[in-house]
Amino acid sequence: MVVGVIRIDLRLFDIHSLKQKRSLVSRLLNRLRSKFPLSAAEVGCLDLLQRTVLGACMTAGNEKIIQSVFKNLEDELYSSGMVEIIESDIEYIFYGEDLS
């Protein structure tokens, strides 16, 4: 089993209040959760108007499945036209190997 974690730093466009930001982030998270088999949340830059950090994770049988989903997730965010991806980091945790 492999657990994949992605952290995506985003710049938000045309945001003038925290209320607008919360609405946009909520729509993005709902869109990602409905399209992809993962858990996602806003994990950083909570009080900045035009920045946010999203975190998502998923489990799969192998790393290639997770890589594919995370690539599609980034493509979805990019194609939304509402955000710019500043940076993304991916980590994998591998389980099931007997290390003792």
Per-residue model confidence (pLDDT) at position 97: 63
Q: Which residues of the chain have pLDDT under 50?
A: 98-100
User: Hey, is 74 helix, strand or coil?
Assistant: helix
Prediction pTM value = 0.89
Per-residue model confidence (pLDDT) at position 6: 98
Q: How many domains does the structure of the chain reveal?
A: 1
Residue 99 lies in a domain: no
Taking the C-alpha atoms of residue 84 and residue 86, their distance in angstroms, rounded to an integer, is: 6
User: Hey, is 37 helix, strand or coil?
Assistant: coil
Q: List the CATH number of the domain containing 42.
A: 3.30.70.1120
Residue 100 lies in a domain: no
